[in-house]
Each structure stands twice: as C-alpha cells, then as structure tokens.
C-alpha cells in the first residue's frame, strides 16, 4: 500500500475512477446486448430504439475515455449493420 500522501490520494482517485468507468462500461455493454437480442428476435422497432440508446451510451463511454474511439466506432458499426440487415429482410 502507498505511504506518501500524494500516493494515497492517487489511490483514492484511482478507485473512484475505476468505479465510475465500470458503471459506464457496464451500461454500454448492456445496451449493446439489448440491440442484439432484439435483432435475434427479429423485432425491428425494438432493435431500432435500442440501437439509438446504445449509440448514445457508446459515444458517452468513448468521450469519457472508458473505451477507445475506434472501438466505439467499430461497435456502433457492427450494431448498425445488424439492425440494417434486419430492416432489409423485413421489406
């Protein structure tokens, strides 16, 4: 364990940051799963609605540097492709 005052403060800050980042990452992963579940059930309205929420949460995670920007772009692209494929099959 740290013994210097500054090291103790860094440890406290690190713990708070870890908790915040975990919450943000968990929220975006859950929203992505909701999109995938709706797409598997072939429920287009629910998938589109979940996609909009997921994109927002993924952008938020990226802006807070919880995940890298390119990872966020890739996740958004993958989810959008699934929903678009579902939409093209429903036409």
> In angstroms, how far is the first alpha carbon of the chain from the final one?
61
What is the tens place of the pLDDT at every residue in 13-55? 999 999 999 999 999 999 999 999 999 999 999 999 999 999 9
Across all residues in the chain, what is the average pLDDT? 93
List the domain boundaries for the chain: 5-90
Rounded Cα distance between 83 and 45, Å, is 10
91 pLDDT band (50/70/90 cuts)? low
Q: How far is CA 71 from CA 46, 55, 62, in A?
A: 24, 12, 8
Q: Global pTM?
A: 0.84
5-90 CATH: 1.20.58.110
């Amino acid at each position: 364990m740290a013994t210097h005052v500054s090291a103790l403060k860094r440890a406290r800050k690190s713990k708070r940051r870890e908790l915040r980042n975990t919450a943000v990452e968990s929220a975006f992963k859950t929203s992505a799963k909701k999109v995938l579940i709706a797409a598997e059930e072939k429920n287009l309205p629910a998938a589109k609605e979940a996609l909009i929420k997921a994109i927002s949460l993924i952008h938020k995670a990226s802006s807070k540097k919880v995940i890298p920007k390119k990872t966020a772009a890739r996740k958004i692209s993958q989810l959008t492709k699934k929903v678009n494929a579902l939409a093209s099959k429903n036409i």
